[in-house]
Amino acid sequence: MSPEQKSEKKQETKKDKTESLLQRKPSYMSLKFWIVLLVAIMVYAYGWKATQINPKMMVTDAHLIAPLVHDLLAPNIIAKNAKTMEVKAPFQVPCQGKPPVEPPLLSTKPSITISKACGNFGDTITVKASGLRPNTSGELWWENPISNRDLIMDAKSDKSGKFQATFEVPKEMASPGEIHHVVLDLTWPTGGYHFTKTAGLVLNKIIETIFLALMATTLAIFIAIPVSFLAARNLMTGSLIGTIVYYITRTFLNIFRSIEPLIWGLIFVVWVGIGPFAGVLALTVHSVAALGKLYSEAIESIDPGPIEAITATGANRLQVIVYAVIPQMIPPFIAFTLYRWDINVRMSTVIGLVGGGGIGYLLIQWINLLQYRNAAAAVWAITIVVWALDYISAVVRERLV
């Protein structure tokens, strides 16, 4: 066939394909396409309703998140040295028996008095204070009998050291027949900055978190390495017994890995009590399952050439593993181990939520108490540690793997 004939044949073939494509109906015209589209619309419509998605709330309620964002950006780590002046006066809600004696209002030392010694919910009362530090800011609080406080208003003494305010008795903080207090706190700076008590607690717990993850990862390595050989298909499926051991091992790894570390944490907290030991055990169990799977897959992906060569020399199974398998699996093992340590640092935060020690134990308490500036200090500490460990592990993997 001449070149001209070949060219003509190619053009005819191309023309036939083009006509075939033009005659073919677009996929969106088929009945199957419309059925799939309808099902997808129904699924997502139900999902939208079931999850109560409401984008409008993200705009209309945006102001509610502002205080939280402010606290997250201002963690309670460093504070300025300051002095505090506190004065309080008793108040009975409602009047019952003999009301408490109101302290006298003095001008020579800090004192506070209320317009009446007892009253009902929602009553309007007037508070007067004198002998205060002039031109000093603070807060006026309502304190219930168990020392829980509710902020009434911001306060500031005048140039003569006096303060006066009128407000209603807060209903949500009142318990019938008990003695409450109106508390005036004034605070003023006295010098430089210092680390807060929260900073010390966070530092102590973040160190505990790092070592919690380290001990869990180390214990998991010693268990996961021998288990990984039993879960490697290329090493265990050569005989009936080996195949049975392989499937049993894989089954257990899948079961243990499918149970979240939080659940393991609950189990071990009940078993050994609240504390970091329970967290170590919970992370160890989950890490054994995860590393066992990763290690076994690394073994299954090794080059069979060295194994065949060592086997051809008459070496037994143990010698094949020592001289042909282990040298190939060391680099991925190191990479997986470092990555798992990184994961365990983050998981230890979650473990702490159920009493498994670490900084998560503090974090959940501060969140429950609405102490978001303290919680922010813990969150930033976790972020910094995870970032540092990720960088260090990446450098180590780059040099060793």
pLDDT tens profile 31-41: 788 888 899 99
**How would DSSP label each residue in 209-266?**
HHHHHHHHHHHHHHHHHHHHHHT-HHHHTTSHHHHHHHHHHHHHHHHHHHS-HHHHHH
Is 63's pLDDT higher than 90?
A: no
How many CB atoms are located within 10 Å of the residue 53 CB? 10
pLDDT tens-digit series, residues 298-341: 888 888 888 788 888 888 878 887 888 778 888 888 888 888 88
Q: Tell me what the mean pLDDT of segment 339-363 comes to.
A: 83
Give the Cα separation of 171 and 122 in Å (integer).
Answer: 6
pLDDT value of position 5: 58
Stretch 17-29: mean pLDDT: 55
Task: Match domain 197-400 to its CATH number in 3.30.300.30, 1.10.287.470, 1.10.3720.10, 3.40.50.300.
Answer: 1.10.3720.10
On average, the pLDDT of the chain sits at: 83
CATH 2.60.40 location in the chain: 80-194
Residue 82 pLDDT > 80: yes
Distance in angstroms (rounded) separating the CA atoms of residues 397 and 391: 10
pLDDT of the residue at 30: 74
pLDDT value for 140: 92
4's CB contacts (< 8 A; 6+ apart) are none
Contact between residue 144 and residue 158 where contact means Cβ atoms under 8 Å apart: no
Task: Give me the pLDDT at residue 285, please.
Answer: 92
Residue 73 confidence (pLDDT): 86
DSSP classification of residue 107: S
Position 183 scores a pLDDT of 93
Q: Identify the band that residue 2 occupies on the pLDDT scale cut at 50, 70 and 90.
A: low
- What is the predicted pLDDT for the residue at 325? 78
Does the structure show a pLDDT above 80 at 27? no
Selecting from 2.60.40, 2.30.30, 1.10.287, 3.40.50, what CATH number does the domain 80-194 have? 2.60.40
Residues of the chain with CATH 1.10.3720.10: 197-400
The 3-class SS string of 42-103 reads: HHHHHHHHHCCCCHHHHHHCHHHHHHHHHHHHCCCCEEEEEEEEEEEEEEEECCCCCCCCCC
Output the pLDDT for position 288.
93
- Residues 278-303, mean pLDDT to the nearest whole number: 89
Secondary structure string (H, E, C) spanning 314-378: CCCHHHHHHHHHHHHHHHHHHHHHHHHHHHHHHHHHHHHCCCCCCHHHHHHHHHHCCCHHHHHHH
pLDDT in tens, 166-209: 998 887 655 556 788 899 999 888 878 888 889 999 999 899 88
What is the structure's pLDDT at 221?
92
Q: Quick check: 246 pLDDT over 60?
A: yes
In this predicted structure, the answer to whether residue 88 has a pLDDT above a threshold of 80 is: yes
Confidence of residue 127 (pLDDT cuts 50, 70, 90): very high
Beta-bridged to residue 82, according to DSSP, are 189
8 Å CB contact between 152 and 185: no
Which pLDDT belongs to residue 242? 84
Q: How far apart are CA 391 and CA 387, in angstroms?
A: 6
Neighbour tally for 124: CB within 10 Å? 10
Question: For residue 45, what pLDDT is reported?
Answer: 92
Strand partners, 126: 166
- Number of Cβ within 10 Å of residue 17's Cβ equals 10
**Is the pLDDT assigned to residue 219 strictly greater than 90?**
yes
